[in-house]
Structure 1
Amino acid sequence: MVQNKLMINKLNNIIVVGQGAMGLLWYHHLSQQNISQSDIQNADKNKKVSLLASNQDSLSNNELETATYQFTAYQQTQTKAYPLSYSQMVDIELAEVIILCLKSFNIATAIKEITNSISPHCIIILAHNGMGTFEHVLSLLPYQQVILAMLTTHGCLRNAPLAITHTGLGQTDIGLLSGELSLSQQTQLTSQLNAALPQVSFHQDIVLKQWLKLAINCVINPITAINNIENGEVNKPKFTEQINALLTEITNVSKTENIDLVLNDLQVIVRKVAQATAKNSSSMRSDVLAGRSTEVDYINGYIHRLGERNNVATPENTRLWQQVLNLKNSSRS
């Protein structure tokens, strides 16, 4: 068995994939943490945090070397510019951790593009909405590659390309999907991520956490996108019957996957999340309004596919999945 040799020393060779809001948020906090440690420890210059962006192949050498991004910290009005270090091939080969902060439908493509350069000892962290990408990613990587899931509730808004505002403090959950990490490795990885952007917790039951987030997304995302409303309006009585139908289907499907979700608990969680993010625009609604592809295939569409596979009826999830897909070509005021 290939043993994971990482984390004898601190993890400094980190790549964040994706120049969206969440990718830049993690890149910012990890790179700033790395800089402060380098100043104190005089660390090896080959150890760094870099960003792998989808458009960097089109940039000139000068643009790559002088790149910056704009960051506005939580509850701050002043925007600051920071240097941006784009990942090169050597960075991918040396990477000890790769965090993929991408839309669900871009995860597999991104892995394919770098899979031949990834070390078998590298930790792959999948940070995206929805479920259904893991099986595909697993087929693209060596059998014993360490793959983790990352779920976060931090709020972040992309104001323009390479310009973000940290809009809400949250928490991040990580956990193992495949491969092996010792307890000390889990602790060290969690500690380093937590030092960069708290609060980060390691969970042995990350799949259950994924299902809980999936259930929330299956309700709030499509209802806000289809009705063009803010999150808080989901709690209006007119949506109660629809929400109960969605969550009932999700609990029924989850049981076929050996996941024990409780309908009453989900109802309470969805209501609390909608209330806590009342003035927010869901990612799916934002994507629809901007004419972008949504992740509905990996949210309600995932429930639809599991229902078909396991002979569980999911009419409401299926209907919303199809409705959101149809919104892509609709004009919105």
Structure 2
Amino acid sequence: MTAELDNIVVVGQGAMGLLWYHHLSQVNANGKKKVSLLASNQALLSKEQLNSASYQFTRYQQDHTEGSQLNPQHKYQQKSQISYPLIYSQTADINCAEVIILCLKSFHIADAIKKIAKDINPHCLVILAHNGMGTLAEVVKLLPHQQAILTMLTTHGSYRDTPLSVSHTGLGQSDIGLLAGEISLSQEQQLTSQLNCALPQVNFHQDIVTKQWLKLAINCVINPITAIKNIDNGEINNEKYSEQINSLLTEITAVSQAESITLLLSDLQLMVHKVAQATAKNCSSMRSDTLAGRSTEIDYINGYIHRLGQQHNIATPENTRLWQQVLNLKAKP
């Protein structure tokens, strides 16, 4: 076993970034490890603000029986928020980081890497945690070829109430795996162990790409339809959407096969149904973004299927249509 991965940098002050920062920093009771947060706005903070920063965290209420990724409209947790010190990352932290976890929107990943690439240790494990696919092609061009680049897929629910206040709204699990570069067995075991100590359950997969495709397929259905129709996740299971869902998933299975990934239409149909049912009252991330007037990750979800379809000369009319519809939602005043 190699030495423990003592220096961890979390990039991103969104809900998922603060969730992982909190849990990773809380297992550092002995003070030997250092966990810091790299935020996009910290350059605007004074030295005093940087040194005295804090955030509020609300733990998941164990007696709340609803599924993960609960509707953020639930405010039942506010009464138990606790304040914790926040350590912002400096250049020296990037230099010595053994793990960097980028909890960002997919369209921010490449820009974030560009800003810190020259400071990243070539032996550092870089973990991409975002929705959708397509960022890897951009990232590998920015880092040394031997850099270990991993992905992390999570089903934990979190909601940022204010810029530095986050609630853990639903228990889930995380899947990680290597996308590029090399990682030793001891590093793999150490990383999995430390992430598990912070926010279980974490599983390492040798074939993480198939896991990515499964999550992508679900996102290609639930995210755009809920955003366009302005509905909760559970309404996806209404019979009137079944034909559209089948069209989306049929196109995805055809494109995945061209990418040497085998997905079964029946499996995807069942998965979409189960996820929609388990998160029935939830507001999807894409719907939340459109309602708030924010950019969405549609280019890396249905847009990714569209681009791969073009590359492989496979028609993807339904995915293409939803991709364009969501882009038009963003364009509306």
Q: Which residue matches 2:46?
A: 60
**Secondary structure at the counterpart of residue 190 of structure 2:** helix
After superposition, what is the alpha-carbon deviation per residue over 1:205-247, rounded to whole angstroms, capped at 9, x for unaligned? 1000000000000000000000000100000001000000000
Q: Which residue matches 2:72?
A: none
Cα distance in 1 for residues equivalent to 2:82 and 2:5: 26
Q: Which residue matches 1:51?
A: 37
Aligned pairs for 1:170-319 within 5 A: 170-319=172-321
After superposition, what is the alpha-carbon deviation per residue over 1:86-121, rounded to whole angstroms, capped at 9, x for unaligned? 000100101100000000000000000000000000
After superposition, what is the alpha-carbon deviation per residue over 1:296-318, rounded to whole angstroms, capped at 9, x for unaligned? 00000000000001000000000
**How far is the alpha carbon of 1:178 from its aligned partner?**
1.0
Contact 2:2/2:186 (8 A) holds in 1? no
TM-score of the two chains, using structure 2 as the length reference: 0.94
Cα distance in 2 for residues equivalent to 1:59 and 1:183: 40
Cα distance in 2 for residues equivalent to 1:247 and 1:232: 18
Listed as ranges, the gaps of 5+ residues in structure 2 are 62-76
**Secondary structure at the counterpart of residue 174 of structure 1:** strand
**Secondary structure at the counterpart of residue 141 of structure 2:** helix
**How far is the alpha carbon of 1:319 from its aligned partner?**
0.2
**Secondary structure at the counterpart of residue 244 of structure 1:** helix
Q: Which residue matches 1:20?
A: 14
Counterpart of 1:318 in structure 2: which amino acid?
Answer: T
Structure with the greater relative contact order (CA < 8 A, sep ≥ 6): 1 or 2? Answer: 2
Q: Which residue matches 2:70?
A: none
| Superposition CA RMSD, Å | 0.9
Cα distance in 2 for residues equivalent to 1:188 and 1:11: 7
Q: Which residue matches 1:162?
A: 164
Which of 72, 92, 97 does residue 90 from structure 1 map onto? Answer: 92
For the pair 1:112 / 2:105, whether they are aligned, the reply is no
Counterpart of 2:27 in structure 1: which amino acid?
Answer: Q
**How far is the alpha carbon of 1:146 from its aligned partner?**
0.4
Counterpart of 2:201 in structure 1: which amino acid?
Answer: Q
**Secondary structure at the counterpart of residue 286 of structure 2:** helix
Listed as ranges, the gaps of 5+ residues in structure 1 are 1-6
Counterpart of 1:208 in structure 2: which amino acid?
Answer: T
Counterpart of 1:216 in structure 2: which amino acid?
Answer: I
**How far is the alpha carbon of 1:329 from its aligned partner?**
2.8
**How far is the alpha carbon of 1:134 from its aligned partner?**
0.3
**How far is the alpha carbon of 1:330 from its aligned partner?**
2.6
**Secondary structure at the counterpart of residue 55 of structure 2:** strand
Cα distance in 1 for residues equivalent to 2:295 and 2:181: 32
Q: Which runs of 4+ in 1 moved over 3 A?
A: none
After superposition, what is the alpha-carbon deviation per residue over 1:151-192, rounded to whole angstroms, capped at 9, x for unaligned? 000000111101111000000000001111222221111010
